[in-house]
Structure 1
């Protein structure tokens, strides 16, 4: 066994050990709950734009995008745009690395890789900052409800011209809304790619943890995921992703299509 394979085997054994480490898991969940109450998740930027995610989930997204190499990433929920910028920058890196491997030059204007972001309210200062960002040429923003028929049709029509499609759902976190998003966008995900449903951890928090939000245990992204998966066996939860993160807002939310 070579050194690289040995490292991978040792790392897998470490991660596998976490499954039986109840104390470590409990500490991780407790820290997640405490840190969420202290707004820790708001502390980070990606290439200059606020990205309201845990560093662990940012790392997970980087690994997933690199390994699956999507041509289109569809995101619901824009906020300050950090997640759009993360996705766009990863697609730019994919193009760069493929050009280096092929021995060709890079022309960003000719790249077909793209991010589509949907939000019911794109605030003017956020739109302006995203449109002025160096990654802007790879980003298309649509304002409207992510489950509105006209928005879904625009996104679906766009997805039809791409080879590999990934979806990230991070807007309204109620059961009905997330389920409607899954019904609309999960079918666009191509084989071997992911639909990532964020904030499934709402299901694991105390009732009324988010006092100014309508979601709660039983009415959460995780309950919507369970509902959707019961009728769509072509998607499976990738437990390996959260198994090594431990601290994530998306437990049972990394859905991989067969």
Structure 2
């Protein structure tokens, strides 16, 4: 090997060695952040590591478990927002504790005592306690339950309550809140029927609404070949609103097959509103057939949750400064509809409407609060102070949007 050749190899080796020496080590992967655990469900077969003590492994006939007179769990607060947290316990005081009068249940969170409660009947309960913010300064929180009496099982275990679930929640998720919201929604439904000033008693109005719902008209309604799961009488009213408002944008949550989006697009096209658009959102993409329709050029589909902040922000940017009509027809749970109302109400232009669909469900005997309960709560909040119900739009009586036609007031 020549000297020049050897020198070249040495230089190349030195450069390579230097490059290796200067190369920074790969950054270590970030440690995964554990998911918060706000609930312990004792109806499941597996034992939760958040059960600290006092709950026996053997399950009962319906998935419940026996607890010792003192038991404890470790739970995370439901969210970091500055809102009160509530502790909910799903349990049953057994008959064995009822022989000597009422049994007292004491509860503490991180050593901070909550209100003691007494029970004199052996019946399933979902008890709720408001938790002071100071008690949740340390998270996760140690939550202790203790009864003032117990009994001895044949195997020698000291037993207190039968337990099913313990959870830290925000107010809207507690069963007590849901029960009260459903009660208020049913009362609102009754008052709305009374205030319509129709020549028909409220009972008959309700009967017609219920009959129209139970007759599956809405299961066999189509528009331009695409299924549209709506009350045809309500669609007629919406078409009239489009004629009166002449919106630049119609925002719809709950696209499904796209039949209603085509219906709205047809109304815009018939009014020669060629610059107007339908903005429709659905967590599932089921509208591929509708996308092939010529009217779909007036439609823009957003695939995702209707309460996704990114989607709402994009729609808000599009509609800013324009006449906008909103209709909500996605998830009908109270919590979801209330979130939609809070997020989409600011998009509605003065004199236009946000239509909450299927509010009649609350008055038809459902066991959970739904759209009407959401409307009732929304109108009680600051977010709803600019809106009012327009009962004129329920003149067909058999509307499924009972009390859900909300008009944004015009500025004085």
Structure 2 residues not aligned, in runs of 5+: 1-195
Check conservation: 2:210, 2:364, Cα contact below 8 A. no
Partner Cα distance (1:80, 1:205) in 2? 26
- Write the deviation string for residues 164-221 of structure 1: whole angstroms up to 9, x where unpaired: 000000000111100111111111000111100001111111235xxxxxxx3xx201
- Write the deviation string for residues 90-138 of structure 1: whole angstroms up to 9, x where unpaired: 1111216xxxxxxxxxxxxxx3200000000112xx22x1221111111
Check conservation: 1:116, 1:140, Cα contact below 8 A. yes
Q: SS of 1:56's equivalent?
A: helix
Using the size of structure 1 for normalisation, the TM-score is 0.78
Matched, 1:229 2:340: no
Check conservation: 1:200, 1:221, Cα contact below 8 A. yes
- Write the deviation string for residues 44-88 of structure 1: whole angstroms up to 9, x where unpaired: 112221111111111111111111111100000011111101111
Partner Cα distance (2:202, 2:330) in 1? 32
Q: SS of 1:171's equivalent?
A: coil
Give the structure 1 partner of residue 299 of structure 2.
139
Q: SS of 1:168's equivalent?
A: strand
- Write the deviation string for residues 7-49 of structure 1: whole angstroms up to 9, x where unpaired: xxxxxxxxx76255446424413413422xxx32111112221
Give the structure 1 partner of residue 277 of structure 2.
114
Partner Cα distance (1:25, 1:177) in 2? 28
Matched, 1:250 2:401: yes
Give the structure 1 partner of residue 230 of structure 2.
53
Partner Cα distance (2:222, 2:335) in 1? 30
Q: Report the RMSD for the aligned CA atoms in angstroms.
A: 1.9
Partner Cα distance (1:95, 1:249) in 2? 29
Aligned residues: 213
Partner Cα distance (2:251, 2:285) in 1? 16
Larger relative helix fraction: 1
Give the structure 1 partner of residue 322 of structure 2.
163
1:193-232 matches, within 5 Å, as 193-207=352-366, 216=368, 219-231=369-381, 232=384
Partner Cα distance (1:227, 1:22) in 2? 23
Which is greater in Rg? 2
Which structure 1 residue ranges, 4+ long, deviate > 2 Å from structure 2? Answer: 19-24
Give the structure 2 partner of residue 148 of structure 1.
308
Partner Cα distance (2:405, 2:389) in 1? 6
Larger relative strand fraction: 2
Check conservation: 2:209, 2:400, Cα contact below 8 A. no
Using the size of structure 2 for normalisation, the TM-score is 0.49
1:73-92 matches, within 5 Å, as 73-92=250-269
Partner Cα distance (2:331, 2:207) in 1? 28
Structure 1 residues not aligned, in runs of 5+: 1-15, 97-110, 209-215
Partner Cα distance (1:46, 1:61) in 2? 15
Partner Cα distance (2:209, 2:260) in 1? 23
Partner Cα distance (2:197, 2:313) in 1? 45
Give the structure 1 partner of residue 390 of structure 2.
238
